[in-house]
Chain A
Amino acid sequence: MGLRKKKAKKLAIIFIALWLTGCAPFTENNIIEEIAPITFLSLSKGDEGKIKISTIIPPLSKEEKSVMSQEVSLLKEGVREFNLNFYQEIKSGQMRMLVINEELGKEGIMSIINVLLTDPDISLRIYLVIVKGNFEEYLETQLDKQENLDYSFYRMLKHYEEKNQGELTVVNLHEFKNLLYTRYSDPYLPVFKIENDAVSYEGTALFQNDKLVETITSFNDRIFQLLNNDHYLKILPIPELEVVLGHVRSNTKVDIDTSLSTMTYTVNIDSRIEEYRGEKQLFDPKDLEDLKKDIQSNLEKQTQELVKKMQELNVDPLQLGIHTLKPFSKPMDEKKWIELFEKMDIKIDYQFNIEPLTDSNAKS
């Protein structure tokens, strides 16, 4: 037994010596008082091809917060610059959002995405957001009024992501990456506009590969939510017909003919009329039928235009291309698909199932 004890002592001495002399193998220091786990990074275009990178520091403690910006040519360099200018060390393990300026998005964000993907500290669930306007300026003006600005922004995105609420597009890093790297599909991101000290949701940015090419807004964005993103909308106002559809659920079906020249895009919709301020008497079955037809043709027209635009821009966020995949045949070359897609005749067909619930004109 004595021999063993001696050995244990020797071993202990060796270990203590290693640790005390600084030969400890773990070099990272994560003492909570000394680190600043940032919650977001905002990227915008700087001068001469540089990236302007900003965040709020300190992100956690109750000290006074400030916006810190650096112009750098590489993303990680920015984090280092922050460290040199602040007493706490920046850590990216708690990052929740990446805010990308529209201008930067137009130049392509592939390299940024790859940086995020290769860092094991950065979660694959961080939200990617495009902003129009100067986000840094907005932060600076708003920070005094609203201390937890970044956190509330994150909570909002999380809220709409969780149950596919169908109000706004919410895309995280993993989803973006998959759309970027999968054949026959292009990614999309939500766009927020900064106007008069407020951030408001504007629509969805469509990307061609990694470059932002178009932002679809208002009614087109609603249709996009219906067709692709959530297949659900809480309300869908159609101002031209003075009608509001509520709880719109959609079910889409894509048929491509064997010659690959025409595609029929069928959208089945279950919904109910929530508000109507037009002339028709909805108690009258004929009028109701007319209204249904009006809604149908209106939506078909709008969707047709939206899809046409996608074809012109050569973007496929709806992943129409994957419908050419068959279990027992060779997948088509991506270039060939793009050629086909540009020329394809896409027919939109809406099938409605509307329940009339309210009628504001009924008793007038």
Chain B
Amino acid sequence: MEALQLYNKNETYNGLYVMLMVNRLQMLYFFLIMPRFLIHPYMIWVILAVGLLSQLNLLLLSKWFSTGFSSKGYNGFVQLFGKKIVRILSFIGLFFILLKLFVVMLGFSEIVQIFMFPSTDSNWIIFFILLSCWYVAGKGVEKTIRFVVISFLCTFWMFFFFAFFFLPPIAQLSDLYPIIPMEWNRDSWKGIFLILSSFSGPEFLVFLGPWFKTNNKTFRYLSYGNALTVIEYVFLYIASLLYFGSNYLSKNQFPIVNMARYFQNPIIERIDMVMVSLELFNIVFAVSIFLLMFYAASKIAFGKMEKPSSRGGFLYSVFLIFIGMILVNEWIWKSGEKQVILLNLQILAGSLSYLVVPIVIIMIMKIKGVNKHGTAKEKG
């Protein structure tokens, strides 16, 4: 088997790529179903608050990027944690990556199935999407990171369309009342974690450190990406409140896509179909990145780091994920009640990973007394 240059590093990408990646990784799947769980108008404030929290997280992440460790990649982590712990951590990481992959992929293929190919088996849709992800990921990390530009250009402008819902006769200010929380229950907590989980994603960037040109401006770019996400979330959420009204929002499975169905254009009648197809670029980008991470993490976890990455090995891991997805799709995702379990799991796992990863890294760095240049002080 010929050796594959999946993880080669020939060039580094500047802050702009960091910004686009933060933003696109936060706009994957959850934002499409978010309004259905948030329901109440006061959740607008919660989105803003969680956005600020996410900003703090990014501050911690940028601290990591400013050390020399981040650019060393795997070796950096080994220096910091020790080989054994890195292996254990990547084993745990596999679970998080898999869960995210499953939810994003199954969720989106369900949307494609419902709105575009209702008579097609969703397993086929998973197959085709995964096939393109495998192709993109097969080009290596560098090209995949570059792909974020295409994914961003294909998708970011879509939220401007939703400005249409801010105009009368659809917009009524009373749809946004009451604007402060009058009661607080379990669903509201779930809403907070859902938002946090949708903001998660940038924590995976710590593993892509070697490919980024990091400097003291990195935090700025991370923040730009995050701020753009906050704007998009709030914008889409207010639009959905105006369009559906609080009462109907919880009854709608895919609020954002259903809103897109209301757009009209004399030339293309089903604009929603075009939008869903373009959104696929974003999914393909994210899934490709996660596929590469999964392969690398499994190599670390099983102690095969020294072996060169091979086409066969990568194909094998993608194939395993594909089989896993088909099984999860058949056993869990297709039945609504069980799907909720998986969603809840991802809501928790996403929030957890987003909160814990930066904190743990910073704590270990503090304990080991790392300075800016990435050298640990000798103890004592």
A→B interface (CB under 8 Å): 25-28, 120-121, 123-125, 164, 174, 177-178, 181-183, 322-323, 325-331
Min CB distance A8 to B, Å, is 13
- Alpha-carbon gap, A279 to B269, bound state (A): 56
Q: Contact between B119 and A28 (Cβ–Cβ < 8 Å)?
A: yes
Q: Contact between B178 and A124 (Cβ–Cβ < 8 Å)?
A: no
B→A interface (CB under 8 Å): 114-115, 117-121, 124-125, 169, 172, 174, 176-180, 182-183, 244-245, 247-248, 251, 258, 261-262, 264, 269
Known contacts A26-B117, A177-B248, A325-B177, A330 near B262 by CB under 8 Å: no
Q: Contact between B262 and A331 (Cβ–Cβ < 8 Å)?
A: no
Q: A181-B251, A325-B177 are in contact. List 12 more A-B contacts (CB 8 A).
A: A120-B114, A120-B261, A121-B118, A164-B169, A174-B262, A183-B247, A325-B174, A326-B177, A326-B178, A328-B178, A330-B178, A331-B178
Of B120, B177, B244, the contact of A178 (CB 8 Å cutoff): B244
- Alpha-carbon gap, A77 to B181, bound state (A): 45
Residues of A close to B247: CB separation below 8 A: 181-183
Residues of B close to A120: CB separation below 8 A: 114-115, 118, 261
Q: Which 10 A-B pairs have the closest CB atoms?
A: A25-B124, A181-B248, A325-B177, A330-B182, A322-B174, A27-B119, A182-B245, A327-B179, A28-B119, A325-B174
- Alpha-carbon gap, A322 to B174, bound state (A): 7
The SS class assigned to the B binding surface is: loop
Which of chain A's residues has its CB closest to B181's CB? A330
- Alpha-carbon gap, A177 to B247, bound state (A): 11
Count CB-based A-B contacts (< 8 Å).
Answer: 63
Instruction: List 18 A-B pairs, Cβ < 8 Å.
Output: A25-B120, A25-B121, A28-B118, A120-B114, A120-B118, A121-B118, A124-B262, A174-B262, A177-B248, A181-B248, A182-B245, A322-B174, A325-B174, A325-B177, A326-B177, A328-B179, A330-B178, A331-B178
Residues of A close to B258: CB separation below 8 A: 124
- Alpha-carbon gap, A325 to B182, bound state (A): 13
Residues of A close to B245: CB separation below 8 A: 178, 181-182
- Alpha-carbon gap, A50 to B343, bound state (A): 41
- Alpha-carbon gap, A331 to B42, bound state (A): 13
Which of chain A's residues has its CB closest to B176's CB? A327
Q: Contact between A125 and B262 (Cβ–Cβ < 8 Å)?
A: yes
Min CB distance A5 to B, Å, is 15
- Alpha-carbon gap, A26 to B121, bound state (A): 8
Min CB distance A133 to B, Å, is 30
Residues of A close to B261: CB separation below 8 A: 120, 123-124
Q: Contact between A327 and B118 (Cβ–Cβ < 8 Å)?
A: no
- Alpha-carbon gap, A26 to B120, bound state (A): 5
Residues of B close to A123: CB separation below 8 A: 261, 269
The SS class assigned to the A binding surface is: loop
Residues of A close to B121: CB separation below 8 A: 25
Which of chain B's residues has its CB closest to A183's CB? B247
- Alpha-carbon gap, A78 to B248, bound state (A): 28
- Alpha-carbon gap, A329 to B178, bound state (A): 6
Residues of B close to A322: CB separation below 8 A: 172, 174
Q: Contact between B180 and A328 (Cβ–Cβ < 8 Å)?
A: yes
Q: Contact between B120 and A327 (Cβ–Cβ < 8 Å)?
A: no
- Alpha-carbon gap, A264 to B101, bound state (A): 57
- Alpha-carbon gap, A120 to B113, bound state (A): 11
Residues of A close to B183: CB separation below 8 A: 330
- Alpha-carbon gap, A307 to B230, bound state (A): 44
Which of chain A's residues has its CB closest to B177's CB? A325
- Alpha-carbon gap, A174 to B169, bound state (A): 12
Residues of B close to A325: CB separation below 8 A: 174, 177-178
Q: Contact between A327 and B248 (Cβ–Cβ < 8 Å)?
A: no
Which of chain A's residues has its CB closest to B118's CB? A120
Q: Contact between A327 and B117 (Cβ–Cβ < 8 Å)?
A: no
- Alpha-carbon gap, A183 to B249, bound state (A): 12
- Alpha-carbon gap, A178 to B246, bound state (A): 10
Of A26, A181, A327, the contact of B177 (CB 8 Å cutoff): A327
Which among A25, A27, A177, A183 has the highest number of chain B CB atoms within 10 Å?
A25
Which of chain B's residues has its CB closest to A180's CB? B248
Residues of A close to B176: CB separation below 8 A: 327
Which of chain A's residues has its CB closest to B254's CB? A120
Min CB distance A323 to B, Å, is 8
Residues of B close to A328: CB separation below 8 A: 178-180
Which of chain B's residues has its CB closest to A178's CB? B245
Known contacts A120-B118, A178-B248, A327 near B180 by CB under 8 Å: yes
Residues of A close to B120: CB separation below 8 A: 25-27
Min CB distance A250 to B, Å, is 15
Residues of A close to B182: CB separation below 8 A: 329-331
Residues of A close to B125: CB separation below 8 A: 25
Min CB distance A322 to B, Å, is 4
- Alpha-carbon gap, A183 to B247, bound state (A): 7
Q: Contact between A327 and B119 (Cβ–Cβ < 8 Å)?
A: no
Known contacts A327-B178, A328-B180, A125 near B264 by CB under 8 Å: yes
- Alpha-carbon gap, A121 to B269, bound state (A): 11
- Alpha-carbon gap, A330 to B169, bound state (A): 25
- Alpha-carbon gap, A358 to B115, bound state (A): 57
Which of chain A's residues has its CB closest to B2's CB? A3
- Alpha-carbon gap, A325 to B120, bound state (A): 45
Min CB distance A329 to B, Å, is 6
- Alpha-carbon gap, A363 to B179, bound state (A): 60
Residues of A close to B117: CB separation below 8 A: 25-26, 28
- Alpha-carbon gap, A329 to B179, bound state (A): 9
Min CB distance B127 to A, Å, is 8
Min CB distance A38 to B, Å, is 15
- Alpha-carbon gap, A221 to B245, bound state (A): 27
- Alpha-carbon gap, A124 to B259, bound state (A): 9
Residues of A close to B180: CB separation below 8 A: 327-328
- Alpha-carbon gap, A26 to B117, bound state (A): 7
- Alpha-carbon gap, A121 to B115, bound state (A): 8
Residues of B close to A28: CB separation below 8 A: 117-119
- Alpha-carbon gap, A178 to B180, bound state (A): 23
- Alpha-carbon gap, A142 to B182, bound state (A): 58
- Alpha-carbon gap, A299 to B178, bound state (A): 35
Residues of A close to B248: CB separation below 8 A: 177-178, 181-182
